[in-house]
């Protein structure tokens, strides 16, 4: 829920891109994985902008420890005056800002090399301290719930600065029925260290313990397999290369099969615990209520897609025919349909194209984005031990940071544009909103990232040099819609089902997860696409599942951004102004209302159905080009 809790505070600025769409490693040889010391400084993020040393971090850590006891000064006094409540909020905000800064630095340093025990310890320290603070401040929400509406209005009149928090207070108080007693809230806060356990276990397996061994690439070289190399090998021309890479990759997870099943089960039971403790009718309702999202919005998404799966089956059939396969497997879904037109883009060139492609967003956005690229916000290349995938993360006290694992592919360029969309969204929200409203919901965050991708794709298609290159880009765009929209709806359907299972008292296990996932996969993709044996283990390696009902927002955001991008490309100045205001709005309104202000109503199925139509149109264009070529 959206109450002021530190589980949310510590990662509200972090926006993961699904690592299943982030591809390619950097390597200086067949078996040598690049070390961090091999990378030029300009390609590393500048964490000195947060703290110039670990000692500076430690000093702020001790400062926060000293700030925690002060929160009790206002206990039992919040209704006494508007000034008292305002002072409590100010202290809470000041402490939270510092907490986030501490956690950001420790976590980014850890992501430089997840084997580094120093930063593992620092990350754990600040997370544990946040639980202490959450316990100390747990009285705030229950006390606020006891204030009558009449008294609250009087407090605004008594102390005008308190009106800054009116929307925040309204947001808290609308969920009164889900707030517990002060002692119960204290116990809920104490549970934080325990309930973080499942995701921490998964993270250590996924980023630190996994070993994949060696595979053969398209040229016959034996190479060490990494996560990033795996996605590059899925684009290999030879099916046997794709098969070996996929089997080797899945075997890495198979070693931890039962542990992964247990950790995901524990995470789902955690969701059930919080939902029932707070008196929600379901885990889904509990999750959506935090952003005041109607359950119908979730149902609009899943039902609209479920009713239009024929276009996805048509896509599978086209891929099988163009690739000349008797049987198409899940690992054949990433290989380019026009491999000879494959585009390689070095990092500096990618930056230039992104800046050019995002001109429809206007001069202000362009200039700020250019400054971001020049100021070492980004950690560019994969190195041994580095965190996988890509994300944007920042705090109110810092500029955003972006983690990449860049290796000169088209997908890497679009991932960079995606993450910089998140970064600029955070930058503008922080610049134009007070701290209490400077974050943004995932429901709106993914609009900013996928809009960038849509605009960049239009730029690339408009400048394609041949029918083959245009077909390649269309193929990529179709795959992007599959990854960001259809796949996320499939994941959402899986999440919904396993939570319904546990709500109905059904047992959870790795076998049950895999069976459920396979059934949903086969319904989504149809009879032509085969999921090999053991490949249903994929459902146990998705980090997003440790944040319940997170992934559906990729799909809803994609639908919203597609509508916005289409208008921007028409030169709609009003839409450009609305969109920049959207980026600056932070959490000053509910996410649904912020999107309505931007011109998109996600309470209706129309934006979702528009994406299905767009996918069909792109498929028509690709088929026409490929038939023309043949």
Stated as kind and residue range, the H or E segment containing 393 is strand 390-393
Which pLDDT score is estimated for 441? 86
Mean residue pLDDT of the chain comes to: 91
The model carries a pTM of 0.81
Closest by CA position to 450, among listed 583, 570, 572, 554: 554
Contacts 24+ apart (CB under 8 A), 502-505: 502/268, 502/269, 502/272, 502/283, 503/272, 503/282, 503/283
Closest by CA position to 103, among listed 81, 74, 133, 77: 133
**Gap between the Cα atoms of 500 and 463, Å rounded:** 48
Give mean pLDDT, residues 175-191.
Answer: 88
Give mean pLDDT, residues 399-404.
Answer: 97
Q: Is the Cβ–Cβ distance between 267 and 546 less than 8 Å? A: yes
- pLDDT over 90, % of the chain: 78
pLDDT(594) > 50: yes
**Which tokens belong to 491?**
């994941």
pLDDT(10) > 70: no
Indicate the pLDDT class of residue 16, thresholds 50, 70 and 90.
very low
Give mean pLDDT, residues 162-169.
Answer: 96
Q: Is the Cβ–Cβ distance between 534 and 474 less than 8 Å? A: no
**Gap between the Cα atoms of 61 and 1, Å rounded:** 27
pLDDT(630) > 90: no
Q: Is the Cβ–Cβ distance between 384 and 33 less than 8 Å? A: yes
Indicate the pLDDT class of residue 629, thresholds 50, 70 and 90.
low
Torsion region of 486: left, alpha or beta (phi above 0 gives left; psi -120 to 50 gives alpha) = alpha
- Residue 148 burial by CB count (10 A; 0-12/13-18/19+): exposed, middle or buried? exposed
- Token match 């076998």: residue? 511
Question: Which sequence positions are flagged as catalytic?
Answer: 419
Distances (CA, A) of 223 to 32, 226, 348, 582: 9, 9, 27, 46
């Amino acid at each position: 829920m959206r109450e002021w809790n530190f589980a949310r505070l510590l990662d509200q600025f972090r926006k993961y891109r699904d690592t299943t769409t982030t591809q390619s490693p950097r390597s200086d040889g067949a078996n040598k994985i690049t070390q961090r010391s091999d990378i030029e400084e300009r390609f590393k993020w500048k964490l000195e902008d947060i703290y110039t040393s670990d000692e500076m971090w430690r000093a702020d850590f001790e400062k926060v420890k000293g700030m925690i006891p002060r929160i009790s000064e206002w206990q039992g006094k919040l209704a006494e005056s508007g000034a008292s409540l305002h002072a409590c909020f100010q202290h809470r905000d000041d402490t939270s800002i510092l907490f986030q800064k501490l956690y950001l630095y420790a976590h980014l340093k850890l992501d430089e090399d997840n084997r580094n025990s120093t930063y593992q310890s620092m990350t754990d320290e600040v997370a544990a301290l946040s639980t202490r603070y959450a316990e100390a401040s747990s009285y705030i929400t229950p006390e606020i719930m006891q204030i009558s509406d009449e008294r609250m209005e009087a407090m605004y009149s008594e102390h005008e600065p308190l009106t800054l928090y009116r929307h925040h207070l309204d947001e808290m108080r609308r969920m009164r029925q889900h707030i517990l007693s002060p002692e119960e809230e204290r116990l809920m806060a104490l549970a934080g260290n325990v309930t973080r356990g499942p995701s921490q276990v998964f993270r250590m397996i996924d980023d630190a313990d996994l070993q994949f061994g060696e595979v053969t690439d398209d040229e016959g070289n034996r190479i060490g397999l990494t996560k990033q190399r795996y996605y590059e090998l899925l684009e290999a021309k030879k099916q046997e290369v794709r098969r070996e890479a996929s089997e080797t990759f899945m075997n890495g997870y198979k070693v931890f099969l039962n542990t992964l099943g247990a950790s995901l089960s524990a995470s789902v039971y955690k969701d059930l615990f919080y939902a029932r403790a707070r008196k929600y009718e379901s885990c889904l309702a509990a999750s959506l209520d935090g952003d005041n999202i109607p359950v119908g919005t979730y149902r609009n998404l899943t039902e609209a897609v479920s009713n239009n799966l024929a276009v996805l089956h048509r896509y599978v059939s086209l891929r099988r025919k163009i690739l000349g396969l008797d049987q198409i497997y899940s690992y054949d879904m990433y290989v380019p349909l026009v491999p000879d037109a494959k585009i390689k883009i070095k990092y500096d060139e990618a930056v230039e194209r992104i800046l050019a492609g995002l001109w429809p967003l206007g001069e202000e956005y362009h200039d700020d984005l250019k400054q971001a690229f020049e100021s070492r916000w980004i950690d560019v290349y994969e190195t041994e031990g580095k965190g996988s995938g890509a994300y944007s993360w920042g705090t109110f006290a810092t500029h955003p940071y972006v983690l990449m694992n860049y290796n000169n592919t088209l997908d890497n360029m679009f991932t960079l544009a995606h993450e910089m969309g998140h970064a600029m969204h955070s930058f503008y929200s922080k610049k134009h909103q007070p701290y209490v409203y400077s974050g943004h919901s995932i429901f709106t965050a993914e609009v900013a990232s996928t809009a960038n991708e849509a605009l960049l794709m239009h730029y690339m298609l408009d400048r394609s040099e041949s029918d083959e290159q245009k077909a390649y880009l269309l193929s990529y765009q179709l795959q992007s819609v599959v990854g960001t929209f259809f796949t996320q709806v499939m994941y959402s359907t899986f999440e919904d089902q396993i939570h319904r299972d546990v709500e109905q008292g059904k047992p959870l296990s790795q076998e049950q997860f895999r069976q459920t996932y396979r059934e949903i996969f086969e319904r989504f993709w149809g009879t032509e696409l085969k999921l090999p044996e053991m490949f249903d283990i994929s459902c146990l390696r998705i980090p997003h599942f440790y944040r319940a009902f997170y992934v559906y927002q990729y799909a809803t955001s994609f639908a919203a951004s597609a509508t916005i991008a289409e208008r921007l490309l028409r030169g709609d100045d009003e839409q450009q102004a609305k969109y920049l205001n959207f980026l600056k709005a932070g959490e000053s309104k509910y996410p649904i209302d912020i999107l309505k202000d931007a011109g998109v109503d996600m309470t209706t199925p129309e934006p979702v159905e528009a994406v299905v139509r767009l996918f069909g149109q792109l498929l028509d264009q690709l088929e026409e080009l490929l038939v023309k070529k043949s």
